[in-house]
């Protein structure tokens, strides 16, 4: 039996406007969510929210992570400092599918200044529905870790 899906969600002030809508989107599908902040649109430092999301995924407290910021580059860079994390930046559904299929991404990073809320939901849905292909990609994924 598969464990129920769960997500840790976090982001900086740029991602704040999308965060609650995306949490509601996940919860409407029966997915439990750990909200790692931020809790307002006041300016904050994205690593303060990316690290808790990455920690929750890395420790197995949640199945996946979702990070939101303006370009999504900062949160992706931060999350990928964690050994057990494969954070993928997606700006459309095709890329969201590929980060799961080919990279076995366990954290989805969305650039909220460059995509609509509807596109963000579509990317998240594709991320949820797309399995890792394994096969030739497994060997590549195995080479990602530095240790």
Active-site residue set = 69, 102
**How far is CA 22 from its chain centroid?**
11
Mutual orientation of helices 16-27 and 117-129 as an angle, nearest 10°? 40
8 vs 140: CA distance, rounded Å: 26
Contacts of 129 (CB under 8 A, 6+ apart): none
15 vs 72: CA distance, rounded Å: 9
109 vs 66: CA distance, rounded Å: 6
DSSP symbol at 54? H
Contacts of 96 (CB under 8 A, 6+ apart): 88, 90, 108, 122, 123, 124, 126, 127, 130
């Amino acid at each position: 039996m598969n464990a129920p899906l769960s997500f840790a969600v976090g982001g900086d002030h740029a991602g704040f406007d999308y965060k609650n809508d995306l949490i509601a989107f996940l919860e409407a599908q029966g997915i439990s969510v750990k909200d790692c902040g931020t809790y307002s649109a006041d300016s904050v430092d994205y690593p303060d929210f990316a690290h808790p999301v990455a920690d929750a995924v890395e420790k197995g407290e949640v199945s996946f992570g979702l990070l939101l910021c303006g370009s999504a580059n900062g949160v992706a860079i931060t999350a990928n400092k964690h050994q057990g994390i494969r954070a993928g930046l997606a700006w459309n559904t095709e890329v969201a599918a590929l980060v799961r299929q080919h990279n076995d991404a366990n954290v989805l990073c969305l650039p909220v200044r460059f995509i609509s809320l509807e596109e963000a939901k579509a990317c998240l849905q594709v991320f949820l529905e797309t399995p890792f292909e394994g096969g030739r990609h497994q060997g590549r994924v195995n080479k990602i870790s530095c240790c």
